[in-house]
Structures are given as C-alpha cells and as structure tokens.
Structure 1
Amino acid sequence: MAATTEQPDASVQRLLPWLVAVAFFMQSLDTTILNTAVPAIAQAMDVKPLNVKSVLASYTLSLAVFIPISGWMADRYGTRRVFAGAIGLFTLGSVLCGLATSLEMLVACRVVQGMGGAMMMPVGRMTLARTFGKAELVRVMSFVAIPSLIGPMVGPVAGGLIVTYLDWRGVFYVNVPVGLLGLYFVQRYLPDYREAKVPALDMAGMVLFGGGIALLSYVLEVFGDHTHGAATVVVMLAIAAALLAAYGVRARLTPHPLLNLGLFRLRTFRAAVSGGFFTRLGLGGIPFLFPLLYQIGLGFSPVVSGLLVLPQAVASIGLKAFMPAILARLGYRNVLVGNTVVVGLMILSFATVGTHTPVWQIVGQAFILGFFTSMQYTSMNTLVYADVSAQQTSAASTIAATGQQLAISFGVAGAALVAAIFVPPELHSHPAAIVHGVQQAFLALGVLTVLSSVVFMELKADDGEGMSNHDASHRRHDEH
C-alpha cells in the first residue's frame, strides 16, 4: 500500500479533481492551440508546413519516452513534488518554445515541455486512484476528462485569434499564468502519496525501451523526406526492433521492470491498451491534418479553421452524461467493436471534403466524428481498470498513458508521411495538391481505424460490466 504523510480531508477530496483537471486542460490546450498555428510557424521559420510535424511529434514522443518513469518518480519522491515539478517544467518549456528562433530549437524546447507533460497525466491519475475508491473512480475520471475536452474547443479558436492578431509565439505564452496558478494550488492542496519502500529504477529497461521507441519514431518522421537511403532506414528499423525485443525479454526476467507487461495477461486490459493503440493511430493524425486542409487547402483563415474544429469538441462533451447508460445497456464489447467501425467510417468521410464542400457539411461531419470519438475514448480509458487490482492501478495507468502517447506520436508521423507521399516537395504550398494529399491520408487513417475493431472482438459480452454498472462497481470495491 502507498504510504502518505497525510490523509486528505473532505475539502481536499472535493478540490483534487478540479486541480488535476486544470493540469489536463493545460496539456490539451497546448496541443490543440499549436495545431492551428502550424502554417504560421512554417511561414515564420521559412520551412514547409509538413516539416512542422516534428514540432508536434517531438512533444508526444517525449511524453512516451518519459511517462514510464513517472510512476517510479511519484512513488520515490511523492506525488506532490513530482506533480509540481511537472507543471514547472512544462511551464518553463512553454516559455522557451516562445523564445525559439529556429525549427530545431523549437523541437528541442518541445522535448522539455514533453518531459514535464509526461509526469502530469499518469501522476494525476495515480493520485485520483489512491484518493478515491474504485466505485467512485469512473465518475471522477469522467469529470476530469471534461476540461481535457474543453481544451480542443478553446485551443483552435484561441490559436486562430493569436496567430491572426498577435504572433505565433503567443500560443506558448498562454500556458504561463495557468502553470503558475497550478503550482500554487498543487503545493497547497495535492496529497503527498509515496511508497515506503521503492525498488531501484530499471535504468537498463529505460534505455532499451526509450531508445527503441525514439528510433522508431524518428524513422517514421524522416521516411517520407528521403533524407536517408533505403538501406539506412532498414538498419534503423532493425535496431529499433532489437531494442524493443530486448526490453520485452528483460521485462520478463527482472522482478521490477520499467513497465509491467504481465498486465497484458488480463483480457480487458490487453484489449483496451492494444485496441486503443491502433484506434489512436487513426485518430492521432487528424489534428495535424485539419489545419492543413482548412487553411492551406481550402483557404480558410486560422480563426475559421479553429471554429470548424469546435463542433467536434462540443459533441464530445455532450456525450459524457450518456456514457454510463450506453455502456450498461450495450456492454463494452458491442460498444467498442461497433463504435470503432463508425469512427473509421467518419474519418473516411473527410476524404470527400474539397473546395466545393459546403461549410455546413464539414460542421456536420465534425460533430458526428466528435460524438463517436468521445464514446471511443471513454470506453477504452475506463476498460483499462476493469480487472486491475488496487495495487496494479499505478502500473496500469503508466502503461495505458505510454501506449496512448505513442499512438498519437505515430499517428501524426504516419498522417504526415501519407500526405507527403502524395504531395511533391515543390507543391507543398499548392492548395489543390494539399487537398489531394490530405484526402489520401484520411483514407489510410480511416481504413486503419476500421481494421482496429478486430482487436476488441476478443472481449466477452460481460467484460467490464462492473465499470459500467454503479451497483456492481460498489460490490467489486467492497470485495477489495
């Protein structure tokens, strides 16, 4: 069990979800506000818009590399210190990004941001899991997810306004006041959980896993740029595969691995994480493609581009209240298999968007996509904890967060790769060429998402029943 220097009282328990939600809001706002600024950053730094994908991918890659050590850090140094340090590092990275004078410097500063962001999400979830019982966890995490959905609503519009009337650097400076306010409340109210005895950090595992993931992501990023020959790419892929395979072997042999792969023996956990990974590959590239399509391809202003994303976020929030009833009635298996196919078809529908598509149709498609995407994320995120014990919650959260960020990073790189294949370098600023390339990327992502529904077919009809039924959840909590 976790040792803590204090037992949070009722007032702290009421405030804690709000505090974690604000941190999640800052992260989601940062990502979505930056997507709208991609064309402006490309113009200011005199690079091709597709090359700015490295700014997006480097952040999510940094998250994926550093998230695995977040659980160990929190257990060793305490949730309060680590969470405060994460917010401070994220805020510092934001300031440095605003001061960047080149694409390379901006990418490096985004890595610093990612190091801070890597600690926020899993440590926040761990704190909630240790403060609230399992019967309350789904309700609390559903609440925490709402501000994360408000970020995509505010981000594109705010990014469009900042880029249009101020400067692209402002999209990073908006994090500073939120970060400073968060630091104050974390130091004052966040419970300080830590383990009484913490094993040594699996440094060898971190090198193997982090190195393999970083190299694999790099290959995906440069593959379409023709900066390396085919032989070099094959060698790098082989090294990445060898590093990850070596980590898999080490994880089975060491008593305290970086990531506890033994959790994958649980059917519900395996389906939620692996199915979620492939589904997020498709969904992860969409925020990168929308600004390219709307601003460069269709000629909309950054503000209008941001407003066209708004219906997706509105639909996502609107569905949250109905999710428990939907899951209780249909079950996780039916929801995830059927909903994944619908999400894939909706992604495919954006391959039909072109210069003659009416705005009302784009708005309608975005709203429907947001509705089913929200159902997908809520189902996958809660299924992770269906059969996980209280002692395994931290490890499960760490693995789920790592897979989630890897999928988003690979999704951005994959979407940019497909678009680059169909758009010659000399036509990267040509509207018709961008529209064609983005349409092909939507086709690829949509097909991948539809196929990922197969992973959820291994679920049984009653899997996750306790997570979607409040009374059953209480019974499961009492047993523990």
Structure 2
Amino acid sequence: MATTTVSAAPGDTIKRLLPWLVAVAFFMQSLDTTILNTAVPAIAEAMTVTPLDMKSVLASYTLSLAVFIPISGWMADRFGTRAVFASAIGLFTLGSLLCGLSMNITMLVACRVLQGMGGAMMVPVGRMTMVRTFPKSELIRAMSFVSIPSLIGPMLGPILGGLIVHYLHWSIVFFVNIPVGLAGLILVYRFLPDYREDNTHALDIVGLILFGSGVALLSYVLEVFGQHTLGDVETVGLLALSALLLTGYGIKAAQTPFPLLQLGLFRLRTFRASVAGSFFSRLGLGGIPFLFPLLYQVGLGYSPIQSGLLVMPQAMAAMGLKVIVPKILGVLGYRNVLVGNTIILGVLIMLFATIDVGTPAWRIALQAFILGFFTSTQYTSMNTLVYADVSAQQTSAASTIASTVQQMSISFGVASASLIAAMFVPETLRSTPSAMIHGVHQAFIILGLMTMASSIVFMELRQNDGGSISGKKLV
C-alpha cells in the first residue's frame, strides 16, 4: 500500500509542534482518569453507591478503549490521521459533557463508554503519527517529550479533583475536558500531518465482533465476580463463552488476509516481549490509581484535596525524570532495564501495604515519588520497544495491537484490584476505615507480586534488542 502524506505545515514546524499536539490528546485522557480517581468517593456518595461499586465507571471506559482501539489503525489508513484524530477528540469531548450531566451510575457508565470510543482513536493514532514523522533514532526522545506535557494531567488531576469535589460539584471533573478538547481541535487542523493509505483493505467486521464481545464478556465477569450476583455455573459458562469467542477470533485471524489485529507481528521477538510484558505488568500497575483514593480517603480519613496532594509526587517524578530515560536505555539496554525495573516496581507496590493510620504524610509522598520514577521508566521502555523491528508499513497495525493490549490490561487491572479488595472486605464493612485499609493492603501485595512475575516475559529479550532505538550496541 502506498502512503500519502498531506502536511498541514512545513516539515520543521511539524517536528516542533507535533509532540505538543499529540500531548493535548494524552493530556485529556490522563487528566480525565486521574481527576476521576480522586473524585470516586464523592461521586459514589452522590449516587448512593459504595466506592468499590465505582469500578464499573472506571472499567467501562478502559474496556471501551480496548474494544474500539482495534479499528483505529484501519480508520486512520482509510480516512487519514487528521480526520480520525479530530473526530476522536470531538467524540471524547462530547462524552465528557454527557458524563457531567449523568443522573445515576447506569447513565454515567453508558456515557463513559461513549467517551471511551473517542479516546480509543486518540492515543494509537497519535503514536502512529509520531512514528511516521520521526526516524527511529529520534523516537525515544520524541516520545519522552510527548510524555512530559501529557504527565501534567496526572500531576494536576488529583489536586484538581480534590478541589472540585470539595468546593464545587463532582460533574465539573468532566466539564474541564471541554475547553481542552476545543483547543485540540483547532491545533489538529492547523498542524497535524495527514497520513493515509491510497488503497485500504476491507474492515474485518466478523473479527471485530468476535474480539470485542469476547473481551467485553471477560471484563464483565471480572467486574461482577466479587459481587456474587452470578452463580458458579453462570460464571463458568460466561468465562467459557468468552474463551470460545476469543479462540474463534484467533482462528479467524489466521485465515484472514487482513485481520482486525495482525497477530503475525508477534513473531517479532521485541514486539512480542514488549506487548506481552506490557499486558502483565500493567495488570498490577493499572489498579494502583483506583486503590490510592480508597486508602487515603476511606481508610486514612484524608480529604479529597489531601488525597490529591499525596498522589501528585508520583506524577511530578514521572514528568521531571522523563528526560533521563533515553540515557538509561542507551547505557543499560532494554533487556536489563525492563527485567530489573519490573522487579523494583513490584517491591514498591507492596511497600504501600505498610501505610497505615499514623504513617507520616512525608513518607507516603516519598514512596509515591519513587514509584513515579520507576513507572515512567517502565512505560517509556515498553511503549518504544514495540516499534524496534516494525517496518513503516506495519506501524499502524503495531500501534493498534499495543494500544489495545494496554487498555485491556488497565481495565482488567482495575477489576482485579477491586475484586481483591472486595474479597477481604465484607460488604457490610465497606465504609469502615479499618476494613478498607486491610482490603487495600492485600490488594497491594497481590498486585505487587503480579508485577514482579511479569519480569519473566522480558527475559526473552537479548542484550542488543532495541538497539536501533536506544543506541545500545552489543559488546
């Protein structure tokens, strides 16, 4: 397929402004997630549900991303990156408006799904545009630069969410996306290059139905498992049906010339290790933002503003130390960084199980800061290794798979964190601080062990893998 590029600005201007433009989309998503996490207890109270029940609001969004991301690469190739990126920002902004107008949790979940449909196109299409614009030798630095402004969202989100729910109405946490979205639309049409393929294949509709329904069903079972709303027979039956649908997709993909997800990319060792490792490590990391507000607000009695301040150091470390990650990768290489960093992350997550009533705030903030640095290193390494051995023609397919797996793991991570906490907290005690602290502590320990175990996946890498990106040479 031949690629057509329509530039919205001169080449040098694009390279200067594109990272900031893509960061607007990343900023919207990261701000939305972090600001909502802090507001979970307040929204739960307003809608007369328990904080643990709010996992459906968080999981529905990430699940929507996982279901709709697979078509993002095809849509960008077919309709152009500029039109798809602009439509994604518009849909995300509309979904945010409707979320803020929701009257109950069912309506809020439905609007989060709509919001997720827009978000599904933003990150993968943004990454694809970056990969096609910058050579591999500049990719780590460009991606790291993109992540710096996008990390402003996690830094501002917790404290902004605390201020909003304390002084204003919880709906404002969604309305703040509207001016950012409108600004993003203007920038897209002025500066985003328009990459598209001259000839595109037909969309794999059957594959989309099989994969999307299989993933959605699996996520639903994980979400309701701890609520005991399904009997053992129903649970096993739904899990079997989900496995059957996903297996059916795998068989269908092997027989289709242009499948929804090009699973043949998993033959590449660097791609396979980065995507599989990302899935398992994010299962642990994905549930952490959901647990922090439960521990700080419900368990320890901090106000939403104080809870937000305790989370801020994590984002500050990730933003401030992002610029040194390329140097670390250049010296140590991807294999050493990912294996060692994943083990360290698991230990750091488990250390949060030692935080209890009487733990000084400075220690909580310090732990969050250290966690932020190693989390940033992990994400940058995994996100860039995906493209180490991928050709220019495979970038959209690679970005689609990587983004899909990432969002699936985050959705499952939130569901797993909530499930583990619920297993250790009786339903009648879910508003009791001591019971919540105990349940969250158990979740931290299990999620930390899961994260450490994921380091096994990265051991498949060789010492010089990813050298075309990191500059690390085999000696």
Instruction: Give yes or no for the alignment of 1:129 onto 2:135.
Output: no
| Aligned residue in 1 for 2:37 | 35
| Aligned residue in 1 for 2:4 | 3
Higher alpha-carbon deviation: 34-43 or 381-390 = 381-390
In the aligned structure 2, how far is the partner of 1:237 from the partner of 1:303? 40
Per-residue deviation, 1:7: 7.2
Does the CA contact (< 8 Å) of 2:138 and 2:469 recur in 1? Answer: no
Cα displacement string for residues 61-95 of structure 1 (whole angstroms, at most 9, x for unaligned residues): 00000000001111111111111110010000000
The TM-score, its normalising length taken from structure 2, stands at 0.98
In the aligned structure 2, how far is the partner of 1:325 from the partner of 1:417? 39
Per-residue deviation, 1:244: 0.5
Does the CA contact (< 8 Å) of 1:324 and 1:469 recur in 2? Answer: no
Gap regions ≥5 residues in structure 2:
none
Per-residue deviation, 1:136: 2.1
Q: Give the one of 369, 385, 388 matched to 2:387.
A: 385
Q: Are the structure 2 counterparts of residues 467 and 107 from structure 1 closer, same or farther at C-alpha, using a change threshold of 3 Å?
A: same
Q: Give the one of 161, 169, 174 matched to 1:172.
A: 174
Q: What pairs with 1:76-95 in structure 2 (closer than 5 Å)? A: 76-95=78-97
| Aligned residue in 2 for 1:272 | 274
| Aligned residue in 1 for 2:69 | 67
Question: Secondary structure of the equivalent of 1:198?
Answer: coil
| Aligned residue in 1 for 2:444 | 442
| Aligned residue in 2 for 1:476 | none
In the aligned structure 2, how far is the partner of 1:248 from the partner of 1:132? 33
Per-residue deviation, 1:134: 2.2
Alpha-carbon RMSD: 1.3
Does the CA contact (< 8 Å) of 1:135 and 1:470 recur in 2? Answer: no
Per-residue deviation, 1:247: 0.7
Q: Give the one of 371, 388, 403 matched to 2:373.
A: 371
In the aligned structure 1, how far is the partner of 2:132 from the partner of 2:384? 16
Per-residue deviation, 1:469: 1.3
Per-residue deviation, 1:132: 2.2
Cα displacement string for residues 295-329 of structure 1 (whole angstroms, at most 9, x for unaligned residues): 00000000010000111111112221211221121
Higher alpha-carbon deviation: 138-147 or 270-279 = 138-147
Higher alpha-carbon deviation: 118-127 or 100-109 = 118-127
Amino acid at match of 1:247: Y
Cα displacement string for residues 417-463 of structure 1 (whole angstroms, at most 9, x for unaligned residues): 00001111111110000000000000110010111111111111111
In the aligned structure 2, how far is the partner of 1:393 from the partner of 1:238? 33
Structure 1 residue ranges (4+ consecutive) displaced by more than 4 angstroms after TM superposition: none
Higher alpha-carbon deviation: 2-11 or 41-50 = 2-11
| Aligned residue in 1 for 2:469 | 467
Amino acid at match of 1:169: S
Q: Give the one of 234, 242, 247 matched to 1:240.
A: 242
The TM-score, its normalising length taken from structure 1, stands at 0.97
Does the CA contact (< 8 Å) of 2:141 and 2:326 recur in 1? Answer: no
Q: What pairs with 1:2-401 in structure 2 (closer than 5 Å)? A: 2-6=3-7, 8-9=9-10, 10-401=12-403
Figure out how many residues of one structure are paired with residues of the other and give that number: 472
Cα displacement string for residues 16-50 of structure 1 (whole angstroms, at most 9, x for unaligned residues): 21111111101100000000000000000000110
In the aligned structure 1, how far is the partner of 2:336 from the partner of 2:14? 38
Gap regions ≥5 residues in structure 1:
473-480
In the aligned structure 2, how far is the partner of 1:228 from the partner of 1:425? 16
In the aligned structure 2, how far is the partner of 1:15 from the partner of 1:365? 34
In the aligned structure 2, how far is the partner of 1:275 from the partner of 1:153? 26
Question: Secondary structure of the equivalent of 1:225?
Answer: coil
